[in-house]
Structure 1
Amino acid sequence: MRFFTPSIFSVALLSSSLSAAPVMLHNIQGYGFDEKGQIAEFNHFVFDNQTGKVLARGDKTAVAAYHNAEQIDGKGQTLLPGLIDGHGHVLGLGQNLNRVDLRSSGSEAQAVAQVAAFAKSHPHSQWILGGGWNQVLWPTQQFPGKALLDESISDKPVWLTRVDSHAGWANSKALQLAGITKATIDPPGGEIIRDTEGNPTGVLIDNAMLLLEQHIPQQSEAERLAALNAAFEHLLALGITSVHDAGVDQANLESYQKLRKDNQLPLRIYAMLSATDPNLAGWLNAGPIFDPNELFVARSVKIYGDGALGSRGAALIEPYSDQPGQKGLFVTQPDKLTAVMKLTLEAGFQTNVHAIGDLTNRLVLDRFEQLASKEQLEQGRHRIEHAQIVSPKDIPRFAQLHILPAMQPTHATSDKNMAADRLGIARLRGAYAWKSFVDQGSRIVAGSDFPVELANPFYGIHAAVTRQDQQNQPVGGWLPEQRLTLTQALKSFTLDAAYGAFQDQSMGSLAPGMWADFILVDRDIFKAPAETLWQTKVHQSWVAGQQKYQAQP
């Protein structure tokens, strides 16, 4: 590490900005990145609270031109670039904050008890909605069923999504309203889990979920805006100043545009438009949505490849080790996937494809190679979202084709208890392989996939550095050869995530001329024990030189 020394360019930039309204933070331990992507330290930080841009950083000498700036004593706190979540679901997060949360449930019976208590405290709800359950963490490790739900709630429909959002659990009332019976045929890319007599058990996988979810009443605009604002508040409290929102539909897009028009977006949204929305062709014809202040940008499309590992929906080259004959599901059938990728590439949009299983990752890499020119690949910064299980021989193709892996470190620490069961030992060599990607020069766009995982980015940084859960298990880390350094992990949540949105020249490093998106935290993460990284607390979050969050004393 070193203290930042302004280049000739940045000195000229500073000189031209002396008429701005500068604010100087001093008595801080600051960390950013230099022009080579290396950590740069500083103890003074100057920004313009009118333009929202960084003016200078470094030691006292480096900021001497701003001796008349408004002074703020940082009181020894650590200052970091605002953290970027490269793959989240903002509306889903906001909705979940007002639904029953089953993430902590230790059994099916415990989950049902939580649902029943929630229903009792929300007597006016038409539907009882929630999620977060994970049968892998229950003693039986078996999917739940409708029987216990029916005993507790029979007069209202209940719909509870699995933690990965690739499966859902319904009571009989919800199945009845959706018309799902023994005679219902599994849709392409989906599965209705059935008992030995062929009756639906209540669990629906991937595209089968749509059979039920289309019957859930749509949110009003007011409810949608309230959910978004709840999510914004939650994210800013965690130090997240920018989100790549993975899968925005027409209603959500309109809400974002309204918030931006009314200057009500407190953080940055980089929207991936949902490929399943009927308006896709119209969006592509209209072209990308840009914003000079980069608070709302929509220039990418999220395409859905396969399901998730926990529900055995991830599409694999060879069958699941714990369920012979099952190879997973294509949520979008290969021919349709090819057509949509071709459409988005030809429209000049960044193409971001959800791929978890090794078969889907290979298929998507093949399609990029077949459909895109060398120039499109070099300039497009196209992405594979998750890149979770990749055949080792396919990992180098990401670098060769200039495809960015958009990965979520906490997926590894959440999945470590079942990944070997699903995949066997051999396939783990290409699973959650962050260091293999970094070592070949790939820039990882890091995120959390909230609300699938908790949104706290320090949980992700901790997982990337230690390959351990918050109980420091397993000892030495799970697949520890794939650990990242703290610098690499922080870069993946800042500068490299910004690169994945074509925004690395304006955010992620805190260099002069960049947006003054920064956070103040309670510890120097580069000096704290690695096992405590997840405990980092955010004191303040700033976006474009404006304070957006202040922790309560």
Structure 2
Amino acid sequence: MSTVTTAMTTTTTTAAPAPPVTLRRVHLGAGGPLSDVRIENGLVTAVFPAGDSPRADGQSLDLDGRTLLPGLWDSHVHMVQWAGTRRRLDVSGAGSARAAAEASGERAATLPPGEALIGYGFRDGLWPDAPHKHLLDAVVPDRPVLLISTDLHSAWLNSAGLALVDRGDHPTGLLREQECIDAMVKLPSASAESTDEWVRDACAAAAARGITGIVDFEYADNIADWTRRMDGASVPLRVAAAIWPAHLEAAISRGLRTGRPLDAPGGLLEVGPFKLLTDGSLNTRTALCHEAYPGSVPGEPGSHGLEELTLEELVSLLRRASSNGLVPAVHAIGDRANEMALDAFETVRCHGRIEHGQLLAPKEIPRFAELGVTVGIQPTHAVDDRDVADRHWAGRTHRAYAFADLLAAGALLELGSDAPVAPLDPWLTIASAVTRTADERPAWHPEQRIPVSDALAGSSQGRRLIRVGDRADLVVTEADPLIADARTLRDMPVYATMLAGAWTHGPS
């Protein structure tokens, strides 16, 4: 995540309105006119040409030609995982299973006796060797080790770790999909107080990058966790808390509906979408595809990926949720999974979201707009996964991460990070959508790049303009994104962030 050098001030966001402020000499939106903007009671109340605003009560801040944008959202986050990742061993740079094991051994030597070692970020889709418990046992025999893959769909454990999660009989130590989730749930966890503190720290870091809201898809009872978290202390973000199938009936019995505010200070917490999975992931080779994965035997279990739900089960869950006011958000990565998800939406005739939509058959692309299904995309995955996709989706990558084709077909795109799969940094997300590269290599499938203006809108819940009457959820940047070069866009210096008229980051 980029380093920000401006000073940070954390503001308690409660039901009490923030003091009024006039932002002077600021460009109103990317490429917008130099303006003065009046903010009162958490709303944008007036806009004037620069220098024409009347003298008014409250703070007056000269922004010296900086750019004022709608506050940014990350539409797909696993917040506890992201907060925890910031304190775990990073093995994302390991080029082999052996290298990841050796890094684990080095870190284990620094830990107190008996403490479990948890790491993250391994990507075995390109490794020359396979993860196995014996590799970890050889370097860390005396404490549990659990390494979580970068896509959160697999976990690699040593023998002590397997025993800790009641899987001591597992032959390899590499757990995938539901087995992986079950193992993570059984791990010793920090106290709720510690976890909440880590999450609040992560939220403050997100605010420093211009984030004013997130959709949290953490594998948890998010309604309960965020209600507790926001009752305990201020959080500098709006949060839409997703509901998983295990909590669906309880949510229905409580009358919860997507978008409905929950009882939290400042009205910052609302009911999010209903999340469910149709398949796995690319790196884990469990994304459900029409074609078999290289090296597999077509027709054998797992050769085409993993079907988490049948079409009938998916239709039943969509109907149950949508008929009770909960908007479905369906995880679908492979082309067969996306086709099934779209078929389910067409059968139920409800609005909703498909999360990821990474590999699409050309005939499916127009259906998103036709069915009113939003696509929650994570552009950084496109640049991070390019080598894995070239190997495992060879010959099909022209229709992978097809952001430009989706836009051209009229689909509504919402951008996110899927943190901790990618960093919770909206500028990294935006730059990845615009450039399709994260290094010195040429853009990967440059025909699928999207304009900066569309990437900004997709990161702002569709807001393209700042209007009188809008909520004063805003971000001030040092550079104009429309004219910034790729490096500046990626590392965008954020001067200040405002939530409901109160500063959550800066100004210095």
User: TM above 0.5, one fold?
Assistant: yes
Which residue of the other structure, out of 153, 172, 177, is the alignment partner of 1:206? 177
1:494 to 2:492 alignment: no
| Cα offset, 1:201, TM superposition | 2.2
Partner of residue 436, structure 1: 405
Q: Which runs of 5+ in 2 are unaligned?
A: 1-16
Partner of residue 146, structure 1: 133
- Distance in 2 between the 1:42 and 1:262 partners? 40
- Distance in 2 between the 1:463 and 1:535 partners? 12
Which residue of the other structure, out of 516, 519, 522, is the alignment partner of 2:475? 519
Kept in 2, the 8 Å contact 1:539–1:550? The answer is: yes
1:419 to 2:389 alignment: yes
- Distance in 1 between the 2:295 and 2:267 partners? 46
Cα deviation code 1:137-171 (max 9, x no counterpart): 65x2x432222311221111111110000111111
Partner of residue 49, structure 2: 59
Kept in 2, the 8 Å contact 1:103–1:163? The answer is: yes
Partner of residue 375, structure 2: 405
| Cα offset, 1:265, TM superposition | 2.2
- Distance in 1 between the 2:313 and 2:397 partners? 29
- Distance in 2 between the 1:267 and 1:127 partners? 32
| Cα offset, 1:42, TM superposition | 4.0
Kept in 2, the 8 Å contact 1:510–1:517? The answer is: no
| Cα offset, 1:525, TM superposition | 1.8
- When residues 295 and 214 of structure 1 are mapped into structure 2, their CA distance, relative to the original with a 3 A threshold, is closer
Q: What is the letter of the counterpart of residue 451 of structure 1? A: P
Partner of residue 359, structure 2: 389
- Distance in 2 between the 1:20 and 1:91 partners? 29
- Provide the secondary structure at the position in 1 that maps to 2:81: helix
- Distance in 2 between the 1:20 and 1:423 partners? 51
Cα deviation code 1:108-127 (max 9, x no counterpart): 34323332333333316632
1:131 to 2:120 alignment: yes
Cα deviation code 1:181-230 (max 9, x no counterpart): 66x6xxxxxxxxxxxxxxx2221111222453343124432122123212
Q: How does 1:183-194 map to 2 (within 5 A)?
A: none
Which residue of the other structure, out of 15, 23, 28, is the alignment partner of 2:26? 28
Partner of residue 320, structure 2: 343
- When residues 79 and 483 of structure 1 are mapped into structure 2, their CA distance, relative to the original with a 3 A threshold, is same
Kept in 2, the 8 Å contact 1:248–1:272? The answer is: no
Which residue of the other structure, out of 203, 209, 217, is the alignment partner of 1:246? 217
Which residue of the other structure, out of 338, 343, 346, is the alignment partner of 1:369? 346
Kept in 1, the 8 Å contact 2:330–2:341? The answer is: yes
| Cα offset, 1:465, TM superposition | 1.0
Q: How does 1:143-182 map to 2 (within 5 A)?
A: 143-180=130-167
1:473 to 2:441 alignment: yes
Partner of residue 9, structure 1: none
Partner of residue 189, structure 1: none
Partner of residue 542, structure 1: 498
- Distance in 2 between the 1:322 and 1:56 partners? 62
- Distance in 1 between the 2:493 and 2:287 partners? 34
| Cα offset, 1:428, TM superposition | 2.3
Q: What is the letter of the counterpart of residue 286 of structure 2? A: G
TM-score between both structures, scaled by the size of structure 1: 0.82
Cα deviation code 1:251-274 (max 9, x no counterpart): x43231123345622111011111
Q: Which moved more, 1:162-171 or 1:205-214?
A: 205-214
| Cα offset, 1:395, TM superposition | 0.9
Partner of residue 284, structure 1: 252
- Distance in 2 between the 1:531 and 1:363 partners? 39
Kept in 2, the 8 Å contact 1:466–1:531? The answer is: no
Cα deviation code 1:355-401 (max 9, x no counterpart): 001111111111111123xxxx3xx4x10001111111011111111
- When residues 324 and 41 of structure 1 are mapped into structure 2, their CA distance, relative to the original with a 3 A threshold, is farther
Q: How does 1:205-354 map to 2 (within 5 A)?
A: 205-247=176-218, 249-250=220-221, 252-262=222-232, 264-275=234-245, 277=246, 279-286=247-254, 287-288=256-257, 289-291=260-262, 293-325=266-298, 326-354=303-331
Partner of residue 10, structure 2: none
- Distance in 2 between the 1:234 and 1:120 partners? 30
Cα deviation code 1:283-317 (max 9, x no counterpart): 12212241595411114211111100111010011
Which one scores higher on RCO, CA 8 angstroms, separation ≥ 6? 2
Which residue of the other structure, out of 469, 488, 500, is the alignment partner of 1:532? 488
Kept in 2, the 8 Å contact 1:97–1:230? The answer is: no
Which residue of the other structure, out of 451, 459, 475, is the alignment partner of 1:485? 451
Cα deviation code 1:481-521 (max 9, x no counterpart): 1111111111111132xxxxxxx6xxx74321111112222
Partner of residue 191, structure 1: none
Cα deviation code 1:400-447 (max 9, x no counterpart): 11001110111110111121221122x223210111111122110111
- Distance in 1 between the 2:101 and 2:506 partners? 37
- Provide the secondary structure at the position in 2 that maps to 1:417: helix
Which residue of the other structure, out of 424, 448, 466, is the alignment partner of 2:417? 448
Kept in 2, the 8 Å contact 1:132–1:163? The answer is: yes
- When residues 75 and 324 of structure 1 are mapped into structure 2, their CA distance, relative to the original with a 3 A threshold, is farther
Which residue of the other structure, out of 428, 434, 450, is the alignment partner of 1:459? 428
- Provide the secondary structure at the position in 2 that maps to 1:105: coil
- Distance in 1 between the 2:424 and 2:507 partners? 17
- When residues 301 and 230 of structure 1 are mapped into structure 2, their CA distance, relative to the original with a 3 A threshold, is same
Kept in 1, the 8 Å contact 2:28–2:35? The answer is: yes
| Cα offset, 1:460, TM superposition | 1.3
Kept in 1, the 8 Å contact 2:70–2:466? The answer is: yes
- Distance in 2 between the 1:406 and 1:523 partners? 27
- Provide the secondary structure at the position in 1 that maps to 2:387: coil
TM-score between both structures, scaled by the size of structure 2: 0.88
Q: What is the letter of the counterpart of residue 39 of structure 2? A: F
- Distance in 1 between the 2:48 and 2:307 partners? 51
Which residue of the other structure, out of 103, 109, 127, is the alignment partner of 1:114? 103
Partner of residue 75, structure 2: 86
| Cα offset, 1:551, TM superposition | 7.9
Cα deviation code 1:39-69 (max 9, x no counterpart): 7544322211xx21111234237x6345555
Q: What is the letter of the counterpart of residue 435 of structure 1? A: A
Which residue of the other structure, out of 93, 96, 100, is the alignment partner of 2:85? 96
Partner of residue 11, structure 1: none
Kept in 1, the 8 Å contact 2:81–2:218? The answer is: no
- When residues 151 and 267 of structure 1 are mapped into structure 2, their CA distance, relative to the original with a 3 A threshold, is same
- Provide the secondary structure at the position in 1 that maps to 2:176: strand
Q: How does 1:70-85 map to 2 (within 5 A)?
A: 70-85=59-74
- Provide the secondary structure at the position in 1 that maps to 2:362: coil
Kept in 2, the 8 Å contact 1:310–1:418? The answer is: yes
- Distance in 1 between the 2:164 and 2:262 partners? 43
Kept in 1, the 8 Å contact 2:79–2:218? The answer is: no
- Provide the secondary structure at the position in 1 that maps to 2:383: helix
- Distance in 1 between the 2:461 and 2:185 partners? 39
| Cα offset, 1:334, TM superposition | 4.1
- When residues 291 and 173 of structure 1 are mapped into structure 2, their CA distance, relative to the original with a 3 A threshold, is closer
Percent of matched pairs sharing the same residue? 29
